[in-house]
Chains A and B, each alone.
Chain A
Amino acid sequence: MADTRDIELTVNGESHAANVETRTSLGDFLRHGLGLTGTHMGCEHGVCGACTVMVDGEAVRSCLMLAVQANGQEVTTVEGLAEDDGTLNALQAAFWKHHGLQCGFCTPGMLTSLTAFLRDNPDPSERDVREAISGNICRCTGYQGIVDAALDAAKTMQKGS
């Protein structure tokens, strides 16, 4: 019989209890168990970065973590980034302004990765940003709009703080 566990975790500030098969990845659980389909599975071997979410504040690949491992932890997905009233946050707004997305598939992983990165590196250089997102593959944009968005968001966030 399938090996399952009861888990409890907080996602975007909301607590959830679920019974999960232990082989289920955190990404698949968020998408299909909780219906939070903003997190995208792009390669399922930890390279493309589309599935990146924050667990206890740190950006991680949700395809390389089992849902059961998130038991008791706090998860933030792309759905949890905007302001409570739905307004885009500074990073999202910068992506919009700088054409930082085309098809939108890598975008959730870019946003979650950069959210953690900019928190720890509030004044990055272009080189820093390019290295930070080197674990997130985008096939559409050539990265330039994303880099510009991140640099602009960093400025905005510094002004705001």
Chain B
Amino acid sequence: MAVRYLGAEVQRMEDPRLLTGHGRYVDDITMEGMLHAAFLRAPMAHAKIRSIDASRATALPGVHRVIAHADLGAKYSHRMNQLYPAPVIEQDKTQYPLAKDEVCYVGEAVAVVVADSRAIAEDALALIDVDYEALPAVVNIRTALDDDAPLAHADTTSNLMGKMRSSFGDIEDSFAKADHVFSAAFMQHRGGCHSMETRGVIARDDPWGDGLTLWTSAQSPYLIRRALATWLDESEERVRVIAPDVGGGFGPKAGFYPEEVAISLAARLMKCPVKWIEDRREHFVSTTTQRDQHWDLEVACTAEGKILGLRGKVTHENGAYVPYGILLPNSSLTPLPGAYSIPAIDVSVDIVFTNTVPNSPVRGAGRPCGIYAVERMVQVVSRELGIDPAEVRRRNYVRSDQMPYETGAKLRGGAPCIYDSGDYEALLEKALELSDYSSFKERQAAARAEGRYLGIGVSSCIEDTGMGPYEGTTVRVESSGKVAVRTGAASQGQGHHTMIAMIVAGNLGVKPEDILFESADTAKFSHGIGTIGSRVAANVGPSAHDAAFQVREKALKLAAEVLEASEADLDIEDGVVRVNGAPDLSISLGELAVQLTPMSAMRVPTGFDPVLEATSFDGSSGSPIACGSNVAEVEVDPGTGEVKVLRYSVAHDCGVMINPMVVRGQIVGGVVHGIGNALFERMIYDDQGQPLTMNYGEYLLPLASEMPRVDITHMETPSPLNSLGVKGAGEGGTIPAAAAIVAAIENALTDFGVVIDYYPVDPQMLTELIDAGAAQAAE
């Protein structure tokens, strides 16, 4: 059946509350008797802790307790859990909730102060005396595996965390028969999370009542419940995790953090609720982040630009610990070969420890890096062979008649990566049309006549979305006729409430505003997995669709009995079941619900299970592959090196769109995040591992003033992998952006022969390249 609201631009259910200041984020929650915490954090990147003396801090009026590792006792003396164990992890280093005897990055939690107020807790931090013995720190991934490199951990002999490889096809043969082999090496730097709401936790422990409850600004409350219960060696039933309104996630809130353990233990020790709100400086040094990857690749191709193979080596920065398995390096390799049919690939990754904040995925995870690498090599082929970048792409795309197309790569969990549907070439043509690509050369020449340097860059991507195994939804009609909908999936602003209300309301014949939506509370739904990897629409969506459909069937069956009509003659509108052609014959969903939720001694209609509800875990039978082509048009000012993004055009296919307005918001937000990566966001450490960009004047997030208007056009190729035909849309804006921007800059500066081997591209770097190019041209 058709879903009524699917494809409608329904205004979000979430918004009136948020627009009037009535959101409920972690820091908005207060409790009787609640105390406030602040963390003492490592001031150096690598050191032994000789001793900790908190006596001066404890003596400060208003301070209740200072807790360090030694105060936790034997039961709580172990390291954090590995959330995603994997055989390739050779050194599985997780941190202690509070450092035991060694700190391995600036910002590692060493002790926690519990006080009457956050200000007093901060006062006390300065009074804790820690005797550190500085150790050498490793920061640069390019030299981290050298024999004489400092070691990130004192008890190891190598900074190699592990190795991975993606290898398929006959790579030797591809290179042997190639007309050309080109190589390129480049560094990719991705920045941090920088959700506008920092992390934050409130813990309340009630051993004789509800057990341990955690309110936390998180993307994966069930993962936290599992990890925390496991760490504490307690039943999951006695741990409740709630993600209230969350002010942005972008990946780094998907993990399980030392502070979540430490604040839980603090609440337990203090026998009262304890709140910790990460401040912005802490966010820079304690929220996981992405950082550097170095790629060194060779591409084999024919004289016509058909790519035959890609091989090379990647060095991936892991940071100091492994909180999140190998998700990042893995998701960097999975997208190879991008949108192209490349028969052979052999790329290996060295994952190296550094004394910096542990790494975890940020919007797109490794996909922006993997796609950037492929797109760079396509660009190299285009440049070296003098073929238009769009044309090189046309010659290499996976064609729509090849779908489903098995690339040879493996997804997380080992399943083959299969492109389920899409028409990549048609999508490119739409992007080219939207960007007026065909007339760009005239625009470029006209600008050049005025001394202005314009450039255009193309980038295509695929995105594996909707990874399994499932999310679930329960739909229950209550006596008022309102419909309670619950899911485990947490929202950080993506509009889940609206999306799910649209699906359920359309199926059930109620108004979206009659949906009472609750999510991300482990006490209210049996299990959820997490809001990561653009997976909610393709997992929660089908489950909501199915659960609502089941409830509809049940309601119609019961109504048919009550109204003595045939089910085929019934329809539901605005929460009322009516008999077609007999408008007086009707019963409301609420009345039907009452029949299935009777009071004592009343009977449930024969043949019906109690309660007008259904739960479904229907999802996607594989990863739907979304795709996009982007065109960036930039102007470079050779006088300053400034890059202005003049136009940005996106053609995107995320299958059937549930709410195009929400999809648009995801794409524009994603593109701007990608432009931030390409041009602005850079987290700088000195060679001792001290972070230098520690405020928003130094760490440059994209602002409205520099961002272009993003023009979007869609294709809707339904995914055959789920009942709604949807694919994920959360990261497809970010993934191809850096490649498009960098290609456009190079195109603008063709006169100077500029080739970029690092992003974010900064103006100083560009002026140096321009000057070098000008000097060479003059010779």
Q: Which residues of A contact B (CB under 8 A)?
A: 21, 23-24, 31-32, 36-45, 47-48, 50, 77-79, 81-82, 86, 88, 92, 95-97, 99, 101-108, 111, 126, 129-131, 133-134, 136-147
Q: Are B21 and A39 in contact (CB under 8 A)?
A: yes
Q: Are B19 and A88 in contact (CB under 8 A)?
A: yes
Contact among B22, B194, B493, B703 with A103 in the assembled complex (CB-CB below 8 Å):
B493
Residues in A neighbouring B12, C-beta threshold 8 A:
96, 99
Q: Are B664 and A99 in contact (CB under 8 A)?
A: yes
Indicate whether A104 sits within 8 Å of B704 (C-beta atoms), given known contacts A38-B20, A139-B194, A144-B710. Answer: no
Q: Are B247 and A40 in contact (CB under 8 A)?
A: yes
Q: Whole-angstrom distance from the CB of B466 to the nearest CB of chain A? A: 20
Kindly state the separation between the CA atoms of A139 and B493 in the bound complex, as whole angstroms. 11
Contact among B19, B250, B671, B697 with A139 in the assembled complex (CB-CB below 8 Å):
B250
Q: Are B196 and A138 in contact (CB under 8 A)?
A: yes
The answer, yes or no, to whether B640 is at the interface (CB within 8 Å) is: no
The answer, yes or no, to whether B23 is at the interface (CB within 8 Å) is: yes
Q: Are A40 and B696 in contact (CB under 8 A)?
A: no
Contact among B20, B23, B695 with A82 in the assembled complex (CB-CB below 8 Å):
B20
Which chain A residue lies CB-closest to B707?
A: A143
Residues in A neighbouring B23, C-beta threshold 8 A:
37-38, 104-105
Q: Are A99 and B661 in contact (CB under 8 A)?
A: yes
Subset of 25 A-B contacts with CB under 8 Å: A31-B28, A38-B21, A38-B22, A38-B23, A42-B197, A44-B280, A47-B697, A77-B21, A79-B22, A82-B20, A88-B16, A99-B662, A102-B493, A102-B495, A103-B196, A129-B704, A139-B196, A139-B669, A140-B248, A140-B493, A142-B665, A142-B670, A142-B672, A142-B707, A142-B733
Q: Are A105 and B707 in contact (CB under 8 A)?
A: no
Indicate whether A140 sits within 8 Å of B669 (C-beta atoms), given known contacts A39-B21, A107-B19. Answer: yes
Kindly state the separation between the CA atoms of A82 and B709 in the bound complex, as whole angstroms. 29
Q: Whole-angstrom distance from the CB of B524 to the nearest CB of chain A? A: 21
Q: How many residues in B have their beta carbons less than 8 Å from beta carbons of A?
A: 54
Q: Are B668 and A43 in contact (CB under 8 A)?
A: no
Which chain A residue lies CB-closest to B492?
A: A103
Contact among A24, A48, A79 with B21 in the assembled complex (CB-CB below 8 Å):
A79
6 closest residue pairs by CB, A with B: A38-B21, A103-B493, A105-B247, A104-B18, A142-B672, A47-B696
Residues in B neighbouring A131, C-beta threshold 8 A:
704-705
Contact among B20, B665, B709 with A78 in the assembled complex (CB-CB below 8 Å):
B20
Kindly state the separation between the CA atoms of A133 and B279 in the bound complex, as whole angstroms. 23
Q: Are B704 and A139 in contact (CB under 8 A)?
A: no
Q: Are B665 and A102 in contact (CB under 8 A)?
A: yes
Contact with A along B133-154 (1 / 0, CB 8 A): 0000000000000000000000
Contact among A31, A50, A102 with B669 in the assembled complex (CB-CB below 8 Å):
A102
Q: Whole-angstrom distance from the CB of A132 to the nearest CB of chain B? A: 8
The answer, yes or no, to whether B559 is at the interface (CB within 8 Å) is: no
Kindly list 9 other residue pairs between chains A and B, CB separation below 8 angstroms, not including A79-B22, A104-B247, A139-B673: A40-B197, A42-B197, A47-B696, A88-B16, A92-B20, A104-B23, A129-B704, A140-B196, A145-B668
The answer, yes or no, to whether B246 is at the interface (CB within 8 Å) is: yes
Kindly state the separation between the CA atoms of A65 and B22 in the bound complex, as whole angstroms. 23
Q: Which residues of B contact A (CB under 8 A)?
A: 11-12, 14-16, 18-25, 27-28, 30, 119, 194-198, 245-248, 250, 279-280, 492-495, 661-662, 664-665, 668-673, 695-697, 701, 703-705, 707, 709-710, 733
Q: Whole-angstrom distance from the CB of B399 to the nearest CB of chain A? A: 32
Residues in A neighbouring B194, C-beta threshold 8 A:
139
Residues in B neighbouring A147, C-beta threshold 8 A:
704, 709
Q: Are A43 and B696 in contact (CB under 8 A)?
A: yes
Which chain A residue lies CB-closest to B668?
A: A142
Q: Whole-angstrom distance from the CB of A150 to the nearest CB of chain B? A: 10
Q: Are B27 and A78 in contact (CB under 8 A)?
A: no
Residues in A neighbouring B20, C-beta threshold 8 A:
38, 78-79, 81-82, 86, 88, 92
Which chain A residue lies CB-closest to B661?
A: A99
Indicate whether A96 sits within 8 Å of B696 (C-beta atoms), given known contacts A103-B246, A140-B669, A143-B707. Answer: no
Q: Are B669 and A37 in contact (CB under 8 A)?
A: no
Residues in B neighbouring A36, C-beta threshold 8 A:
21
Q: Whole-angstrom distance from the CB of A91 to the nearest CB of chain B? A: 9
Among A23, A37, A42, A142, the one with the most B-chain Cβ atoms within 10 Å of its Cβ is A142
Q: Are A111 and B668 in contact (CB under 8 A)?
A: no
Residues in B neighbouring A32, C-beta threshold 8 A:
30
Which chain A residue lies CB-closest to B711?
A: A144
Residues in A neighbouring B24, C-beta threshold 8 A:
37
Which chain A residue lies CB-closest to B667?
A: A142
Contact among B196, B668, B671 with A50 in the assembled complex (CB-CB below 8 Å):
B196
Q: Whole-angstrom distance from the CB of B259 to the nearest CB of chain A? A: 18
Which chain B residue lies CB-closest to A43?
A: B280
Which chain A residue lies CB-closest to B697?
A: A47
Residues in A neighbouring B19, C-beta threshold 8 A:
78, 82, 88, 92, 95-96, 101, 104, 107, 111
